[in-house]
Amino acid sequence: MQMFPLTVDQGVVRRRGKVLVGPVDLTLEGVGATIVVGPNGAGKTSFLKMLHGVVRLNGGSLTWACPRAEAEKRQAFVFQTPVMMRRSVVENIAYPLRLIGVPRKEARARAADWARRIDLGDALERPAVLLSGGERQKLALARALIRDPEVLFLDEPCASLDGRATREIEEILTEAAQSGTRLIMSTHNMGQAQRLADEVILIIGGRIHEFAPAEAFFAGPQTPQGQAFLRGDIVE
């Protein structure tokens, strides 16, 4: 059963009476990489969490093409600061498989394969909490991708990483996208957005100001807010 399209109709998220997102009207199809951009505090994280279902709507509706319970099983989320369990690298990566009943030996073997793919093959038994920031982010990606999700949400996964770590993360994401994983990701890095995006969503003040193919957006935004944002002006 297909997951997409994902449709949001007048979606609103509030916290303590303050509107964080919305109202939002949006339809996302099931192919490519959608990159969410906007100034700090624009609501990008809340927007992603709303789409993922971590944050519930306070108004409007959000529907997948399949039942919500089914959609939840077929997606994953990588946070800006990933949480490392007090376990080894291989046990951290294997954890999602163990949750769904995969035998420990098989789960560890698949996790070890993923560890090698992200250049942590020599650190299988190292405590994950001792990894560097870039290594933690790569582990978080492997932990999310090991179940082959159809949709992967990412909240500024390279925000605090150096150039080398960022390049490695982008290579993993590009490979995942080429393998059919739908990416929905926020970033503050316009270079990264241009490298990865098939389409761009610009959020300011919790509302969508532009939603366009990446080439069209970067060639010339259609709104004054989009033009100002790309110029590097302060937008609110």
- For the stretch 11-41, pLDDT in tens is 999 988 888 998 999 999 988 899 999 998 8
The reported pTM is 0.90
Tell me what pLDDT residue 140 has.
92
Per residue in 43-85, pLDDT (tens digit) is: 999 999 999 988 889 999 999 999 999 999 899 999 888 888 8
Q: Could you tell me the CATH superfamily of domain 6-82+149-231?
A: P-loop containing nucleotide triphosphate hydrolases (3.40.50.300)
Q: What share of the chain has pLDDT > 90, as a percent?
A: 59
- Mean pLDDT taken over the chain: 91
Each domain of the chain, given as residue ranges in start order, spans 6-82+149-231
Shortest CA distance to 201 belongs to which of 213, 189, 215, 188? Answer: 213
> Are 15 and 206 within 8 A, CB to CB?
no
Q: pLDDT tens across 152-190, in order?
A: 999 998 887 788 888 888 988 998 898 889 999 999 899
Is the pLDDT at 204 greater than 80, yes or no?
yes
Peptide bond into 5 cis (omega under 30): yes
- Give 233's pLDDT tier (boundaries 50, 70, 90): confident
For residue 125, what pLDDT band results from cuts at 50, 70 and 90? very high
Residue 235 has pLDDT above 80, yes or no: no
Q: What is the pLDDT of residue 132?
A: 87
Alpha-carbon distance of 129 to 59, in angstroms, equals 39
Query: Environment class of residue 56 by beta-carbon count within 10 Å: exposed (0-12), middle (13-18) or buried (19+)?
Result: exposed
